[in-house]
Amino acid sequence: MATATTKGNKPRGLTRLFFRMPIWLYRLRLGWLLGHRFVMLQHTGRKSGLPRYTVVEVVRYNPKTDAMIIASGWGEKSDWFRNIQKTPHVQLYLGRRRWPAESHRLPVSEATQELKDYARRHPTAFANLSKMMIGDILEANDVDCRRLAEVVPLVKLVYDQKQGNAKLSETEA
């Protein structure tokens, strides 16, 4: 994998506060206002071991299987991305629902195809993401999408049957 640096810096101060506002919507049980374009991810801190929360944009969602693809908009330096690399078991909050999931980073080849599809469905969001991460507005072609996939990790989240069954047995006891 290419080692590319991102143009965007991690948010600080008021910008960080603004980006964390959707978490409060979920905590107030108003996550449904964000629709299926955003998901709140509960993950485990890699150093503290404590629960951490972040809201990320959904690249693609399959409502039949509850599988989804998400992007790390701040690249590999995102705390949530680094946390799920260490502990891939997460909880997802989408709308009014919550379920356990397992996270897997997509290889660059798969991420390239997902980004091409995303660029076709959401051209403005794709342009903004590429401008922030690369410094250029990219096209929805193989070369440009691969360039972006090399700096923006994509993660697939799938329903975690093992965690789901454990939660069910805890509530049945």
Q: Within a domain: residue 167?
A: no
At residue 1, the pLDDT reads: 38
Tell me, yes or no, whether 168 lies in a domain: no
* Average pLDDT estimate for 24-32: 85
Tell me how many domains the chain contains.
Answer: 1
How many CB atoms lie under 10 A from the CB of residue 67? 14
Residues of the chain with pLDDT > 90, as a percent, come to 63
What contacts 104, CB < 8 A, 6 or more positions away?
Answer: 88, 155, 156, 158
Give the residue numbers spanning the domain of 108.
13-162
Does residue 172 lie within any of the structural domains? no
Q: How far apart are CA 125 and CA 53, in angstroms?
A: 23
pLDDT, mean of residues 109-113: 98
Residue 49 CB partners (closer than 8 Å, separation 6+) = none
| CATH code for position 149 | 2.30.110.10
pTM of the predicted structure, to 2 decimals: 0.81
* 81 or 15, higher pLDDT: 81
pLDDT band at 110 (very low <50, low <70, confident <90, very high): very high
5 domain residue, yes or no: no
Give the count of beta carbons closer than 10 Å to the beta carbon of residue 148.
24
In a domain, 63, yes or no: yes
CA separation for the pair 92, 148 (Å, rounded): 25
Within-domain flag for 72? yes
Whether 4 maps to a domain, the answer reads no
